[in-house]
Structure formats: structure tokens, C-alpha cells
Structure 1
Amino acid sequence: MGILKFLSSRKFYWGIGAAALGLMLFPKAQKNMKPSLEKSVKELQEVVNKLAEFFDNRRQMLIETVKNKMEELREQESQKEEIIKQKQQALQQLEYLKNKIQALEEQIRTLE
């Protein structure tokens, strides 16, 4: 009963009418829509290309930033190593001078 009721309803006939109208107008609509669709596809390709270029530029900037930071870190490490070497040399010189002072103090004591 439900199918018979649906087939006799206005909605069914409106649907058939819309489908028939669509079939009659589709070739014409297809011809009218083709340039519009082609233009949309070209614009979409341009947007995709611009996005790809944008992300490539950002990636290059990020790579350069990382390279620069790595170089800075290497320079800082090199400077740190140099400071450590200078500190060790200064401590060795202080130890040498301390030993000399102690030796001189011993000589002074022996002279008294």
C-alpha cells in the first residue's frame, strides 16, 4: 500500500518532472558549465601552486634558521672549549707560582 500511495503522490510527479527537465537541459547546461569549470580548475591549480611555493619558502627559511642556530652552537662550544683551556693554563700557572713562592719561603727560612 505504501508504494501505491507514494506513486500517486504529488512529490513523485514533481520528482519525475524535475528529472525529465534535467535530462532535457543537461547537454545545454554542460556546454554552459564547461568554461566555468575549466576556469575553476585553473584557479584551483594556481592556489595549489601558490600554497606549494609558500610551504617551500617556509621550509627553506626553517632550514636556514636551523643551520644558523647549529653554527652558533658550534661557535659557542668552540669558545667554551677555548675558555676551559685558558682556565686550565691559568690554574697551572697559579700552581707553578704557588710552588715557587713556597720554595722561596723555604729558602728564606733556611737563611734565618
Structure 2
Amino acid sequence: MDRSVRFYVDVLGFTCGMQTPGYSNLYRDAVRIMLAAPNAHGDWKAPKFTGQLYIELETADEVDALWAAVKDRAEVIYAVDDFDYGAHEFGICDDNGYSLAFGAPSKPTVGRPV
């Protein structure tokens, strides 16, 4: 838990609001992430999540600023770019290998629909 909190705070700029040995609240702007250890309600054997967490930012400029701050501090999955589906985003791995994408609507450009 400590290592994960440090990654989200030191690399991604989140603030830790509350932390216990098995639970942490992390905040950045309008985003809240809760990290929790396995609980007694299920038979936990190993991590099961196999997707990508998408964190939407307000503007493409915010995506660019975050990209500049983290690109040399995290494992990059894909660099910041504009995609055909209208998003300006990048992807990295967190300290546990989970895939995180940070994006916003693409910046309008002449001749390209938004």
C-alpha cells in the first residue's frame, strides 16, 4: 500500500487524504481513487483486473502537462497523441503494472472534426 500511495502521489500528483494499512484515498482535481487490500468478502488468490483504467482530464493542455511530468517517471505504454475517436491521451503503467490512460477531448484543428 505504501509503495502504491507513493507512486500516485509522487509521480502522478495525487494527494493522499486518508491511509490505513489496507486502504487509501487519493485525490487529484475531480478524480478520487480508492486503493484497498483484499477483504474478507471474497476468496482472493491474485489480482484479477485485466483492463485499463481511464482517467479523464478537463483539457488536452492538462493531458500534455501531465505527460511532461510523468513520461520519464513511469513505464510508458503509449505516448501522448490524438486518436481517431476524438481523444488526446497517453497510457502508462502504475507501480503494480496496471494500465492507466489519461485523456481529454482532442484539441480542435482545422479540417478535422472534433
Common fold by TM > 0.5: no
TM-score (norm 1): 0.15
Q: Which has the larger radius of gyration?
A: 1
Give the structure with the higher percent strand.
Answer: 2
TM-score (norm 2): 0.14
Greater relative CO (CA pairs within 8 A, separation 6+) = 2
